[in-house]
Chain A
Amino acid sequence: MGSECGVLVFAEQENGEIHNVVYELLGKGRELANRLNKMLCAVLLGFGLEEKSRELIYYGADRVYLFDHPSLKNFDVIRYKHNIVKLVNEVKPDIFLIGATRMGRSLAPRIAAALRTGLTADCVDLDLDDEGNLVQIRPAFSGNIMAQIRTRTRPQMATVRYRMMKPLSRNPNRTGEIVRMETEFLENSGIEILDRVSASGVNLSEADIIVAAGRGLKSPEDLKLIEEVANLLGGVVGASRPLVDAGWIGREHQVGFSGNTVKPKVYIAFGISGSPQHLFGMRDSDIIIAVNKDPSASIINFSDYYVIGDLYEIIPPLIRELKRARGVG
């Protein structure tokens, strides 16, 4: 007899808020669990999160394992690992999915090593083969190629990139079971959280509108032009890697394989030629508009609209038009 829990999803939370990647994992997890004819389960660790655990059911979980304990309020990788490993050994899921966030990428390998099971990083898609084994699809070599990976051990563990899978729509009529677990309290985990400060700054992966610049920009001061367009559109500034490496703008603005994967409603690229690494990070945007002097720039093949021209000639009238459209100036 196999386990009744086909898919287990780690419900990452910070400050009591569940990360959106969790709902995406539940969406995919639901599909996989249905195909396996098994249950979709989630594990939530934190403190005072009974309400939140219901949300996981509304988004597709059949069962939520809830570890509710003051020692789990903030992310302590050792305490989280300890309780999750115990749960996985009891429940024996076939598949265990974790968001490829920084928290997930710190926690998942520890769990995998403790369970001596395989872990595939940063998947962009998941499927099942004819025998019901998980097929994990992940980019390799900066997104130039994709690899399909299978795991011989159980559970089959994968971290999954944010904004790659679709969540189900929230349905408060969905029913499921909340199982309150007994937290095994580790007196000394070897880690003491002295402080946790909310990081300020942009969050590109959540942005709906991104105005980005690349090597076509001549000086760091010219980023003001890009900022102005972004502000007028209510968007945020993105950048290709050379600008970040040159220190013109912070790494949190970087779009691409080694930066943020973004999926905005509109992505406007000024002076970005479109290296494979950059394209990997933005090619799933709803609408892509590229402005580039070079008609052979690869980004043009990825654009819905493109302008062959100098950004320094296009941006000033664009700023005027946008101001007029918004009725300012």
Chain B
Amino acid sequence: MNIIVLMKQVPEIEKVRFDYEKGRLDRSSAGAVTNPFDLNALEAAVQIKERAGGSVTAISMGPMQAIEMLRDALARGADKAILLSDERFAGADTLATAYTLATAIKKLGAFDLVICGEKTVDGDTAQVGPEVAEFLGIPHAAYVEEIREINAKWIVVKARMEQSDYILKLSLPALITVTKDINVPRLPTLRDKLKAMRAPITIWTYDDLSQVADQKYFGFEGSPTRVIKVFTPVTGGRRGQMISGSPEEIAAKIVHILRENKILG
């Protein structure tokens, strides 16, 4: 079983602060980490490999700094890591990103399953996975929270939608995006970490991919969407009325407010 995991290095989103006075993001205290959902994707892949055999290849697109993340992926059980890194890939929106990733997957050759996290915490679009599936011409299931069965021909998953759970059987090759509920990612051992430090990481540039793809779809030039303006949303401005008094008085006042607003009959 050849499994591909798509990964992204993102800023530590919880540590990105917003300076409301200056109206800008302060990333100075935020380091770079693996997108948390991608660790679940990797764990799912490694678990399948442990049961059914095969290999796990982690692929990422990003600056050279992402090598660090891919080393961590190797320590966590990936067998091979490929970084797509080139200035000409930069500035890509989801469509161009998906196209570049799909091109790399095609270049790799035969595969059975592609696993992605349900979304990245920085972009929060959840679009790249399904777009990659479309470019590869394979079926996909999004929001997978359980893998029930897998063999050489198909995979059975439970996918969570708002109103329903879908039990889906996808013929392979296929792509799934997984939620955090699917597993608890393992921590790499020190031994694995040391081993990963010496492991080779393949770098593919624009020239490696442009032979097998239409280069006009890469990077900023290949991106149909453009950010034209960034602004601060109107915030706060509500600070209303303080309710004070003893706990009993406060409770009575809250009930009164609920009555006045017809929340309570």
A15 at the interface (CB under 8 A from B): yes
Stretch at the interface among B39-47, B76-84, B91-99, B196-204: B91-99
A302 at the interface (CB under 8 A from B): yes
B254 at the interface (CB under 8 A from A): yes
A119 at the interface (CB under 8 A from B): yes
A128 at the interface (CB under 8 A from B): no
The reply to whether A305 and B240 form a contact with Cβ atoms under 8 Å apart is: yes
B residues near A316, Cβ cutoff 8 Å: 247
**A40-68 with Cβ < 8 A to chain B:** none
Known A-B contacts A147-B230, A191-B168, A196-B164; the reply to A110 vs B247 at CB < 8 A is: no
CA A215 to CA B66, docked complex, whole Å: 34
Q: Which residue of A119, A197, A257 is within 8 Å of B164 (Cβ)?
A: A197
The reply to whether A314 and B250 form a contact with Cβ atoms under 8 Å apart is: yes
CA A192 to CA B155, docked complex, whole Å: 10
A151 at the interface (CB under 8 A from B): yes
A residues near B191, Cβ cutoff 8 Å: none
A residues near B255, Cβ cutoff 8 Å: 318, 321-322, 325
A 290-329 to B, binary, CB cutoff 8 A, 1 in contact else 0: 0000000010111111111100011011101110011000
The reply to whether B130 and A321 form a contact with Cβ atoms under 8 Å apart is: no
A91 at the interface (CB under 8 A from B): no
- Nearest CB on B from A279, distance (A): 8
CA A300 to CA B123, docked complex, whole Å: 29
CA A141 to CA B12, docked complex, whole Å: 11
The reply to whether B240 and A304 form a contact with Cβ atoms under 8 Å apart is: yes
The reply to whether A118 and B224 form a contact with Cβ atoms under 8 Å apart is: yes
The reply to whether B226 and A152 form a contact with Cβ atoms under 8 Å apart is: yes
Known A-B contacts A106-B142, A112-B127, A266-B261; the reply to A197 vs B165 at CB < 8 A is: yes
Chain B: interface residue count, which band?
A: 35 or more
Q: Which residue of B122, B125, B250 is within 8 Å of A307 (Cβ)?
A: B250
- Nearest CB on A from B248, distance (A): 5
The reply to whether B248 and A317 form a contact with Cβ atoms under 8 Å apart is: yes
The reply to whether A113 and B166 form a contact with Cβ atoms under 8 Å apart is: no
The reply to whether B226 and A149 form a contact with Cβ atoms under 8 Å apart is: yes
A14 at the interface (CB under 8 A from B): yes
B 240-252 to A, binary, CB cutoff 8 A, 1 in contact else 0: 1111100110111
The reply to whether B239 and A191 form a contact with Cβ atoms under 8 Å apart is: no
- Nearest CB on B from A237, distance (A): 16
B residues near A321, Cβ cutoff 8 Å: 251-252, 254-255
CA A318 to CA B167, docked complex, whole Å: 44
- Nearest CB on A from B138, distance (A): 7
A 75-115 to B, binary, CB cutoff 8 A, 1 in contact else 0: 10110010000000000000000000111011111101110
A139 at the interface (CB under 8 A from B): yes
Chain A: interface residue count, which band?
A: 35 or more
- Nearest CB on B from A259, distance (A): 12
Q: Which residue of B lies closest to A114 (CB)?
A: B134
The reply to whether B224 and A110 form a contact with Cβ atoms under 8 Å apart is: no
A140 at the interface (CB under 8 A from B): yes
The reply to whether A14 and B239 form a contact with Cβ atoms under 8 Å apart is: no
B213 at the interface (CB under 8 A from A): no
Known A-B contacts A112-B127, A113-B130, A152-B224; the reply to A141 vs B16 at CB < 8 A is: yes
Q: Which residue of B lies closest to A312 (CB)?
A: B247
CA A86 to CA B260, docked complex, whole Å: 53
B 150-172 to A, binary, CB cutoff 8 A, 1 in contact else 0: 00000010001111111111110
- Nearest CB on A from B35, distance (A): 12
The reply to whether B251 and A139 form a contact with Cβ atoms under 8 Å apart is: no
A residues near B138, Cβ cutoff 8 Å: 190
A116 at the interface (CB under 8 A from B): yes
A 139-162 to B, binary, CB cutoff 8 A, 1 in contact else 0: 111111111111111000000000
B238 at the interface (CB under 8 A from A): yes
The reply to whether A199 and B164 form a contact with Cβ atoms under 8 Å apart is: yes
B212 at the interface (CB under 8 A from A): no
Known A-B contacts A109-B127, A146-B231, A306-B242; the reply to A233 vs B16 at CB < 8 A is: no
The reply to whether B156 and A194 form a contact with Cβ atoms under 8 Å apart is: yes
CA A302 to CA B239, docked complex, whole Å: 6
Q: Which residue of A lies closest to B99 (CB)?
A: A113
Q: Please indicate which of the listed interface residues B93, B166, B168 has the most CB atoms of chain A within 10 Å of its own CB.
A: B166
A193 at the interface (CB under 8 A from B): yes
Known A-B contacts A145-B25, A145-B232; the reply to A300 vs B239 at CB < 8 A is: yes
7 contacts between A and B (CB under 8 A): A77-B130, A140-B230, A145-B231, A203-B162, A305-B241, A307-B250, A321-B254
Apart from A121-B94, A146-B232, A195-B167, 17 more pairs, CB < 8 Å: A113-B134, A117-B224, A144-B25, A148-B229, A149-B225, A150-B226, A152-B224, A276-B18, A289-B257, A304-B238, A305-B243, A307-B242, A317-B251, A318-B250, A321-B255, A325-B264, A326-B264
Q: Which A residues have a C-beta under 8 Å from some C-beta of B?
A: 14-15, 74-75, 77-78, 81, 101-103, 105-110, 112-114, 116-122, 135, 139-153, 188-199, 203, 209, 233, 251, 257-258, 265-266, 268, 276, 279, 283, 286-289, 298, 300-309, 313-314, 316-318, 320-322, 325-326
- A-B complex: 3 closest residue pairs judged by Cβ atoms: A118-B224, A190-B139, A121-B125
